[in-house]
Each structure stands twice: as structure tokens, then as C-alpha cells.
Chains A and B, each alone.
Chain A
Amino acid sequence: MSNTRRRAANIMHTKIIWPLTALAAILLFNLFFVPGFFHMEIKDGHLFGSLIDILNRAAPIMVIAIGMTLVIAKEGIDISVGSVLAIAGAVAISLIGVVPLWMAIGAALIVGALCGLWNGVLIAYLGIQPMVGTLILMTVGRGIAQLITEGKVLTTDSKSYGFIGKGFFLGLPFSIFIAAFVFLLVLYLKKRTALGLFLEATGTNKVSSEYAGVEPRKIYLFVYIVCGLCAAIAGLLVSSNISSADANNAGLWIELDAILAVVIGGTSMRGGRFFLAGTVIGALFIQSLTTTIYSMGVPPERIMVVKAIVVIIVSLMQSDRFRQMFQQKSKKAVIG
């Protein structure tokens, strides 16, 4: 390992330590307060247990959050991912039985990419602010999904389609492999092509990057397409898991969990440096938190409040300024 790589690993280490700590803390909490949380058993050659459940449920958030990481790295945001998820699920399920399965899946992915293209054109080429630009699809998207499902909750009994979201492979949920594949693919793009460099450069200083020959608009378009594609993959996972497409509720508010995962993972909303592994840990943390709150038996009406409190604590722990304040206070206390 060369010096620089080790140093790069160190930087990564310091950035990723906070989401990891948060994740460890929540797992530790479960160890003491939620009996049977770490219990795992093998049924029909598959692993079962809360941990596996968390992995399975975290997969859609993870996939969407990975796409979101790229968008946030360029100082943007995509709040339409929940709607795109619903559209993709509706497309896939409505086409199953009509066309071969692979075509249905392919169509859903293409529709996701087109949604991303739409966002990208609005933002990169027409200069609309990312929040406003993606708000359009967020609002309209659920309507489009309803048009596709004709206002009903579509269901499917395709076993092969169901495998995507609830099947098992090598004893683990298949969705995990999909999430891992997306992660590795994007990681490859970051580390083995110049995408990482160009994205971090344009996210930090668009003008300088442009003067250096990078074409920010093409980069923006690309990341929005990837984000749309990720949302479509999540749409497949979600609709396959429940074997149905619900235009109104599929992936509702998932954009918020995804954005949170990115931020907890150490990527700044101001763009620039981005951390894919941090995002994955962030997504795992959020799902662990949700599952924990449910298994604690917190009344549903209080769940959001508890979640909010934990998220505030994690965000504060991540803030350098807060940590400094805290350290100064404790130093003073020692002196006093």
C-alpha cells in the first residue's frame, strides 16, 4: 500500500467513524434492551432474524441513497425518487404477464432513467434549481403512477418477479446482492473512471472545473440519470417484495431517508467530496433505527418523534463545531 493510499484511507476512516459509531450504538442498544434481536436461525436453508430483516429492508433505501450521493456531490438534490420508485414499480407490475419478465424489468429501468433524464435536462440545461426541478416530478410522478395502475393497487403472482425482493440466494436475501452490486458498480465508476474526480471538482467549484475542460452539464445529466435508475431499481425491490404496485404509498418519504443516509454518511449538502461507503452505513443505520423503534413497541404516533431525536443527536455528533463546543466545555469543567 502506498503512502498516499494509506492517507486517503485515513481520511475515509475519520469521515466514516461517525456513522459507524451511530450504527454500533444502535446495535448495542438492541443487545441490551431488545431481547432476541441478534437471534438468527436457519429455516429451509435461509437465514432469518432481525438483522437479516434490516438488511433486506434497507436495500431500497441503500440503492436510492447511493444515487442520491452522486446528486448531492454535485451540490444538487433529487426529491422525486419516491415518485420514480412508484412509477417504476407500476410499470413493471402492469407489464408482467403482458410481455416477458425481463422486458417488464427492462422497461421499468428505462422509465427510471428517462425520469432522471427529465430531471437532468431541467436542472443542467434549463438552469432550474434542483429542489424545484425535482419537485415537479415528485408531484406529478405519483399521478403518472396512478395513470399506469389506473388508480388501483396492482398485484402479481409471478414467483420469479417476487424473487427480486423476497428471494434468497446463498442463504441471504437476494435484495442485498442487488444493493451490493449497485454499490460496487458506482464505486467502480468513482475509483476507476474520472467520474469521481470530475464530480467532486464540479461540486466544489463549477467555474474552475469548466475552465479546466470538465463539462459540468454532462456530469449533472449523468448523475441525475443514475439517480433515476437507482430509484427504479428500488421500485423493483419494493414492488417485488409486496408483489404489488401501490402508486400512492410505495416509497412514500423515502427521499427523506435517502438524503438523511447521505448526510449521516459524511457527504456535505454543499457538494464536493462524497462517501459511498458512508452512505451505505447511513442507510443501514436508518433502517436499524426504524426496526428498533418498532420492536421496542413505541406507539406509532410517537415513532417519528423518536426518530427525529436520534437523527438530531447523530447530526450533532457529526458537526465539527458542536464537537469543539463540547470538548471546550469538558476542558473547562476539568480546569474548574
Chain B
Amino acid sequence: MRSGDVLLKMEEVSKTFPGVKALSDVNFTLRQGEVHALMGENGAGKSTLIKVLTGVHPMDQGKVYLNGRPIVARSPLEAQHLGISTVYQEINLCTNLSVAENLYIGRLPRRRGAIDWKKMHADSEQLLRRLNLNLDVKKSLSDYSVAIQQMVAIARAVDMSSGVLILDEPTSSLDAQEVQQLFAVMRKLRDEGMGIVFVTHFLDQVYEITDRITILRNGSLVGEYETSKLSKSSLVTHMIGREWKEEDEHRKTESSYTPEVVMAAKSLTRAGSIKPVSLSVRKGEVVGLAGLLGSGRSEFANLIFGIDQADSGVMTLGAEQFQSMNPKKAIRQGIGFCPEDRKIAGIVGELTIRENIVLALQAKKGIFNYIPLKKQQEIAQRFIDLLRIKTPSMEQRIDNLSGGNQQKVILARWLATEPKLLILDEPTRGIDVGSKGEIRRLILDLAKSGLSILIISSELQEMIECADRIVVLRDRMQVGEISGGDMNEASIMKMIAEGGGTSEQYPQTGS
């Protein structure tokens, strides 16, 4: 049942932020019964387009029609009432409330003035069953994994939507099986006649689920295409505005490491977090840490940097041995750490790009050894140029930047401290294809210049490209190591899967 009637139409939408033209004359059409991908690099205007549509930002110019009638959503609530529901990349639910409460918050069913808990719980269960989810709806949301929380957010949106559903990178925290579960739901909704806008960075998923693709670049519309008629390489070409070939992605060929060991961890352990891991990194070497979500890869990084304390084990840095670590000490010893969650543990949103860049260096130098403003500006400018951070000024607030540029600022923060070892936990998550490539190239260049790097990534291909050696973790245990020509997705997956004991599947390999 695909009527193909136009459901939602946006015409010549423009939006300017101070210093940035975020959208200029963009058209977007969503038809009934389709899944429509919105593609573009970070900063292309995808998020802005969605925020304009859902009333988060007012638009400067343009018109929006829903079922042929002009609409203006002045707030997300108004958009919801109009039947436009959105699930954002970051989960906007209250983790301290129960699943059912989260599903019905703001519209709790009532009976004679009091909340009708019975009805709410029954309705919740029914709603979740529609998404093939079987949860205890009375349990607090925080008892469930991020993936499940995401599904609950989607269930809520589906229930409130009357035709348009927007999914803004819903799959970035889901594993392959959960992605399939989500796709099943999306197909069902599509067949019911719903129009779904799907924003993602995973190209494979776009080809698996979508019917049409609208591509944006630098705030302008590139075009609308039928998915089946657009090749992957032309999609990427349209997105980044230059030629891209699949062959560009290949294994790291030259290694430049020296025998000198920069960091050696011996039997680092933390109860309930990770079993003994021993690992050493040589000067100029890139070591990958592979494993499933929750396999202990991030947990191990946290131990090295001293975010968490090891119960036992010894870490050797240069000539010194350490049994306990904290971030300040780690930085003084020449370690830098780009954490997995950029927003929570990386950027300091209210501060400027300059301040974000010098923060770790200043912390290393101490509070009274103030870096003069002029020197700060020199440092910031050097890294803005070096990493090609796109910004009108170093005095912009960092949260005005796109995800890829924010990540570059965090990288700059660590490079400014002149580290010997850089730990990168998911350095390219939620970043567009172009910036991903740039960051990968940067990793290789840095290694060539003698920096040692420990990289963690859900994208196996990324690690194969960057790493000299990959250490595999499973169930919080070190299970093996692969290096050189033996590194390929199949061999790593095999090592991860060997011995079984895990029901989780490997997350999408992406790009």
C-alpha cells in the first residue's frame, strides 16, 4: 500500500545562525509510505533542517506543508501535536522513571482525575509488543541498555505520530541484531503508510532500508534520488563533493614503529569491569582494541588513563612504574585520551574553541602557570590550521560546531599537550564520511611522527586501516591478538566469536 502521495513538503527553507548560513533554499519532500534518508556530511545542514521542521529553531524563510496545508511549528510540542514525531540521536527520556511513565509522560491516562496506572501499564506493554519488545514496563528505564532505551524512545514517537516520523541517527548505539529489529519496525510502519525520515551515517543501512535519498552539502540541496538508482560511490561523491572510490579504503601498509616501549600494562584488573589485561605499545605504533560493546575495551582505556582505578596490576610508562593513576597524573606522563562520549566527557560546551583546546595543556602546567592569552591564540590557531577545523573564529563556542569539528578540537586539545601516547575511543563515531577519512589520515600521520596510539572503534575496517596490531577482547577478557596481513574483518570477527558465550553480535561495521 504505497500511495506515494506527498505527505510533507518543505519549500526553499533558509536558516542563518550567527556567522553561518546553515540552510539556503532547501527543498524536501516526504511521501506516504516511504523511508527517506537525509544524507550529508556533518555541518551539511541535516540537523538544522530537522530542527527547523520540528520547531526547535524558527526558520528565516520558507514554507512547510503537511498534507497540503501550510503549517508552522513554533515549538517541538506544536510539531508533536501536528503529528511530527522525532527521535533524536541523544535519548531524550528520563532514565529515573519507569518505562511506562516514559512512554506516556505528558499524556498520562487518567481516570477520575487520578493516573490510571493499570491502563498505562497495559497500553505500554501493547505498544512495545508492536515493536517486538518484551519489557517489564514498571522497571525504571535506567535498568535497560542504551539500545533498549532508544527503542523505547522510538515506541513513544511512533505512538504519538500521525504520519511523519523522524529518526535522527537512531542506530548509532544499536548492535546489528537490534538494527534489524528496528528496521523490521520501520518496514511495518512504512507499509502502514507512514513517512519516515531517516538520518544516519551508515551507508549500508541507507541501502538496506530507504526508498529515497535527499542529499545536502554545505547547507544547500544537492538533490533527491531514488535509492535503487544511486550507486554508493556517487552518493558519497555527492555528499563530500569530490570523487571517492571504494579502493581508497585499505589496510595500513607501512609501519613506522620502533622497538622502544612507551606504555606497558601488566595484568591490569578491575573487579566487575575487566579481567587481567597485559598490553604494550611501542613508539609510533598504532594498537587497536577490538571487541563487542561491553567487552571491556573502553573499561581498559579508562584504567590506563586513571578514570577508574585498577584493583591490581602494574603500568609502566617510560622508566616509571605505576599502580594507581589519575587523569592529571596520566597527562603529566604524556597520555592523552579522547573519550567515547564526546558530548558528556569531551567538549566543554559553553567555552570557546580556544579555551577547549588549551584546557588540558593548562591543566598539565598547573593553575598558576597561566598560558598568556596571546600564546593561547597561537596554539589554537596552529591546530585550527593543522586539523582544518572549520569555524569562523576561535572564539566561537564549541557547541556551535558540527560533531566532526568538535572531535578535531578535542584531538587538538590532546595534541597541544605533546603526548607520547594517545588513546582514541571511537574517534569517528557520529562523524561524516569526509571527516572520518581526515581523522584516520591524521592518526596515520601522527604515528609516523612517533606518537603511539591506542585506538578503539566499532568499525573494524577503521582499525584495520589504522592499526599495526589488534588486540581482541571478549567478555572482559583478553582473548588474542592479530597483526599485519592477518588483519581482516573475518579474522577479527572469528576471534571475537570463538568459544561463544556471548549472544551479542558485532555492531555495524559501517562506511
Q: Could you tell me the distance between the alpha carbons of A5 and B377 in the complex, rounded to whole angstroms?
A: 11
Confirm or deny: B271 has a beta carbon within 8 angstroms of a beta carbon on chain A. Answer: no
Number of interface residues of A (CB under 8 A): 26
Q: Could you tell me the distance between the alpha carbons of A205 and B359 in the complex, rounded to whole angstroms?
A: 12
Would you list which residues of chain A between 190 and 238 have a CB under 8 Å from chain B? 192-195, 197-198, 200-201, 204-205, 207-215
Chain A residues closer than 8 Å to B345, beta-carbon distance? 207-208, 211
Which of B38-46, B203-211, B363-371, B426-434 interfaces with chain A?
Answer: B363-371
Confirm or deny: A273 has a beta carbon within 8 angstroms of a beta carbon on chain B. Answer: yes
Chain B residues closer than 8 Å to A194, beta-carbon distance? 362-363, 365-371
B395 touches A7 (CB 8 A): yes
B364 touches A205 (CB 8 A): no
Would you list which residues of chain B between 342 and 395 have a CB under 8 Å from chain A? 344-351, 354-355, 358-360, 362-371, 373-374, 377, 393-395
B344 touches A207 (CB 8 A): yes
Confirm or deny: B314 has a beta carbon within 8 angstroms of a beta carbon on chain A. Answer: no
A204 touches B327 (CB 8 A): no
Would you list which residues of chain B between 203 and 238 have a CB under 8 Å from chain A? none
Chain A residues closer than 8 Å to B349, beta-carbon distance? 204-205
Q: State the Cβ distance, A201 to closest chain B Cβ, in Å.
A: 5
Q: A207-B345, A208-B344 are in contact. Are A193 and B370 (CB under 8 A)?
A: yes
Q: A4-B373, A193-B368, A195-B367 are in contact. Are A214 and B359 (CB under 8 A)?
A: yes
By DSSP majority rule, is chain A's interface helix, strand, loop, or mixed?
helix
Q: Could you tell me the distance between the alpha carbons of A215 and B339 in the complex, rounded to whole angstroms?
A: 17
User: Residue-by-residue, is A98-111 near B (CB-CB < 8 Å gives 1, otherwise 0)?
Assistant: 00000000000000
A211 touches B346 (CB 8 A): yes
Chain A residues closer than 8 Å to B360, beta-carbon distance? 212-213
**Chain A residue with minimal CB distance to B341?**
A207
Q: State the Cβ distance, B421 to closest chain A Cβ, in Å.
A: 14
Choose among B344, B346, B348, B364 the residue that contacts A213 (Cβ–Cβ < 8 A).
Answer: B364
Query: Quick one: which of A5, A192, A200, A212 has the most chain B CB within 10 A?
Result: A212
User: Residue-by-residue, is B316-350 near A (CB-CB < 8 Å gives 1, otherwise 0)?
Assistant: 00000000000110110000010100001111111
Choose among A200, A210, A272 the residue that contacts B327 (Cβ–Cβ < 8 A).
Answer: A210
Q: Could you tell me the distance between the alpha carbons of A214 and B363 in the complex, rounded to whole angstroms?
A: 5
Q: State the Cβ distance, B333 to closest chain A Cβ, in Å.
A: 11
Q: Could you tell me the distance between the alpha carbons of A214 and B360 in the complex, rounded to whole angstroms?
A: 7
Chain B residues closer than 8 Å to A201, beta-carbon distance? 348, 351, 355, 359
Chain B residues closer than 8 Å to A208, beta-carbon distance? 344-348
Confirm or deny: A8 has a beta carbon within 8 angstroms of a beta carbon on chain B. Answer: yes
Q: State the Cβ distance, A13 to closest chain B Cβ, in Å.
A: 14
B362 touches A211 (CB 8 A): no
Chain A residues closer than 8 Å to B413, beta-carbon distance? 212
Would you list which residues of chain A between 1 and 52 have a CB under 8 Å from chain B? 2, 4-5, 7-8
Confirm or deny: B482 has a beta carbon within 8 angstroms of a beta carbon on chain A. Answer: no
A4 touches B370 (CB 8 A): no
**Chain A residue with minimal CB distance to B354?**
A4
A200 touches B350 (CB 8 A): yes
Confirm or deny: B307 has a beta carbon within 8 angstroms of a beta carbon on chain A. Answer: yes
Q: State the Cβ distance, B443 to closest chain A Cβ, in Å.
A: 19
Q: Could you tell me the distance between the alpha carbons of A317 and B349 in the complex, rounded to whole angstroms?
A: 25
A193 touches B367 (CB 8 A): yes
Choose among A5, A200, A205, A212 the residue that contacts B373 (Cβ–Cβ < 8 A).
Answer: A5
Q: Could you tell me the distance between the alpha carbons of A204 and B399 in the complex, rounded to whole angstroms?
A: 12
A215 touches B328 (CB 8 A): yes
Q: State the Cβ distance, A118 to closest chain B Cβ, in Å.
A: 22
Query: Quick one: which of B362, B363, B394 has the most chain A CB within 10 A?
Result: B363
A211 touches B347 (CB 8 A): no
Q: Could you tell me the distance between the alpha carbons of A239 and B30 in the complex, rounded to whole angstroms?
A: 72
Chain B residues closer than 8 Å to A215, beta-carbon distance? 328, 363
Chain B residues closer than 8 Å to A207, beta-carbon distance? 344-345
Q: Could you tell me the distance between the alpha carbons of A4 and B359 in the complex, rounded to whole angstroms?
A: 18
A8 touches B395 (CB 8 A): yes
Q: State the Cβ distance, A31 to closest chain B Cβ, in Å.
A: 37
Q: State the Cβ distance, B137 to closest chain A Cβ, in Å.
A: 31
Query: Quick one: which of B337, B348, B359 has the most chain A CB within 10 A?
Result: B348
Choose among B330, B350, B377 the residue that contacts A272 (Cβ–Cβ < 8 A).
Answer: B350
Q: Could you tell me the distance between the alpha carbons of A147 and B373 in the complex, rounded to whole angstroms?
A: 49
Query: Quick one: which of B349, B362, B371 has the most chain A CB within 10 A?
Result: B362
Chain A residues closer than 8 Å to B370, beta-carbon distance? 192-194
Q: Could you tell me the distance between the alpha carbons of A157 and B305 in the complex, rounded to whole angstroms?
A: 60
Q: State the Cβ distance, A330 to closest chain B Cβ, in Å.
A: 17
A197 touches B373 (CB 8 A): no
* 5 cross-chain pairs, A with B, having the tightest CB-CB distances, nearest first: A213-B363, A213-B331, A204-B350, A212-B360, A272-B350
**23 chain-A/chain-B pairs, Cβ below 8 angstroms:** A2-B374, A4-B373, A4-B394, A5-B373, A7-B395, A8-B395, A193-B368, A193-B370, A194-B370, A198-B363, A200-B350, A204-B348, A204-B349, A205-B347, A208-B344, A208-B347, A210-B307, A211-B337, A211-B339, A212-B348, A213-B359, A214-B328, A214-B363
Name A's B-contacting residues (CB within 8 A). Answer: 2, 4-5, 7-8, 192-195, 197-198, 200-201, 204-205, 207-215, 272-273
Knowing that A194-B363, A215-B363 touch, tell me 9 more A-B residue pairs with CB under 8 angstroms. Answer: A4-B354, A193-B367, A195-B367, A197-B355, A197-B359, A205-B350, A210-B327, A213-B330, A213-B364
